[in-house]
Amino acid sequence: MTGSGHIISTQAFPVAARKELGDTQLRANLRSATHTIRDKRLRVVSEVDDWEELRLAGAAIKDDVLARLPDLLVQFETVATAAGAVVHWARDAAEACAVVADLVRGTGADEVVKVKSMATQEIGLNDALARAGIAAIETDLAELIVQLADDTPSHILVPAIHYNRTQIRDIFIRRMGGADLSGLTDEPAALAEAARRHLRAKFLAARVGISGANFAVAETGTLVVVESEGNGRMCLTLPETLISVVGIEKLVPTFADLEVFLQLLPRSSTGERMNPYTSMWTGVTAGDGPRQVHIVLVDNGRTSSLADKVGRQALRCIRCSACLNVCPVYERVGGHAYGSVYPGPIGAILSPQLTGQDAGANRTLPFASTLCGACYDACPVRINIPDVLVHLRQSGPKPAAERAGMRAMSWVMRDRRRYAAALRAARRGAAPLRLATRRRGAVRHLPWPLSAWTSSRDAPLPPRQTFREWWAAR
């Protein structure tokens, strides 16, 4: 069964990218933000002597989980249920949304507070709850900014990375109801204070909290949320009912395995040695925290990704977003161009795998990369993203003209005489162009399809003698 929800791009990547490229403010915001996190990450990663061993361990633990997924899921369900949680299973986004909406309805609440969660973004939970008459309040600062702006997140970790603080102040003044914010400055402390006051009332009134989970421990039935602002801790402890939406690949076998990931994740994502808040809970605890604990385990295309021997490594992903921050393509276009809640290099392999390449324009995502390899180097669980990109290009649909061209070129290259004749033809064909160009033998305009090259750069011309002609005459 393939995945659905907010992971299907509706516009071909090159088209969507062109629109974003035109926004110079966006480019400046992204450049500044990605370079800041990139540098921070490099600093804290370089101080860990066994970083490469940690990466290997992280990859090995996740591969073990993927190899034993059915057994570990049943183990998790058994233990979590024994600890007082209610475990639900959802095959796709629609099922998961329906389960959550029913659970909230059952409490009689018409408002929920949310911990930042990619799984709930993926399944489009906020929209589904709105249709059921339930308001979902995002409490992570950046998610709140995006929600107030009626926008969508553009980064896994920093959803409002495309805004600078002046833009954020304007969004608060326009959209944050209640208090008088007319004197609000764009000082980070002032912005945080405004958000705090706005959210405090929501936390105290909430009867239902909704979260995802960074990790789910099969051995103990424990869920783990890693965060920076403390909003998560409020949502996880104050409401009577807690509903957590968890992708089935979030499992780790044992509690001790968290040792590896709690080192890998904060350094890779926020560039911190340790994240400020790590919350762990196991079912219901008498006299402490929520009375009702629900866990919704979501497949949404993960099982079909698991069937792909090369592609399944994408399911190791711990959503740190290090690959986004080092990606030269992401840096230029931002997250919206990818049309999915998973942008950047990981999104380019994850979205088409979860949905199948026929969904929307997702088949264009594996081509949204130069294969520069920066993402693979940064990935804390060693997902070989360039390899998976090439694999998806291989298995995806191909334009007929391109296929014909590739076949013809391969046919020419298979025979020395054909190849040498093609080189001679190219050299001769360029002769009139050489006469027509004055500037260093470079061409400014070529006809289609080579015009895609000369649209932004001059093209070189072949010299009068190929290498093999020179060698033969030597």
- Interaction site with another protein (CB under 8 A): 13-14, 17-18, 21, 27, 328-329, 332-333, 367-374, 376-377, 390, 392-396, 398, 402-403, 406-407, 409-410, 413-416, 419, 423, 426-427, 439-440, 442, 444, 449, 452-460, 462-463, 465-472
CB of 328 to another protein, least distance (A): 5
CB of 326 to another protein, least distance (A): 9
Vertex 455: Cα angle to 385 and 389 (nearest 5): 10
- 359 CB-contact burial (10 Å; exposed 0-12 / middle 13-18 / buried 19+): buried
Q: Name the residue with tokens 């409020």.
A: 234
CB of 12 to another protein, least distance (A): 10
Q: How far apart are the first and last CA of the chain?
A: 63
Q: Which is nearer to another protein, 188 or 463 (CB)?
A: 463
Give the torsion sign (CA, 286, 290, 291, 295): negative
Query: Using CA atoms, how far apart are residues 26 and 37, in angstroms rounded to an integer?
Result: 17
CA distances from 373 to 363, 376, 378, 384, 395 (A): 20, 5, 9, 8, 20
Nearest in space to 304 (alpha carbons), one of 69, 42, 71, 74: 69
- 26 CB-contact burial (10 Å; exposed 0-12 / middle 13-18 / buried 19+): buried
CB of 344 to another protein, least distance (A): 13
- The secondary structure of 120-145, three-state, reads HHHHCHHHHHHHCCCEEEECCHHHHH
Give me the torsion for CA of 334, 335, 339, 341, rounded to 10°: 180
Q: Which is nearer to another protein, 180 or 414 (CB)?
A: 414
CB of 464 to another protein, least distance (A): 9
Q: Which is nearer to another protein, 238 or 390 (CB)?
A: 390
Which SS3 state, helix, strand or coil, does residue 98 take? helix
CB of 101 to another protein, least distance (A): 39
Which are the contacts of 216, defined by CB distance < 8 A and separation ≥ 6? 76, 222, 223, 224, 246, 250, 251, 252, 295
CB of 399 to another protein, least distance (A): 10
CB of 20 to another protein, least distance (A): 9
Q: Which is nearer to another protein, 254 or 370 (CB)?
A: 370
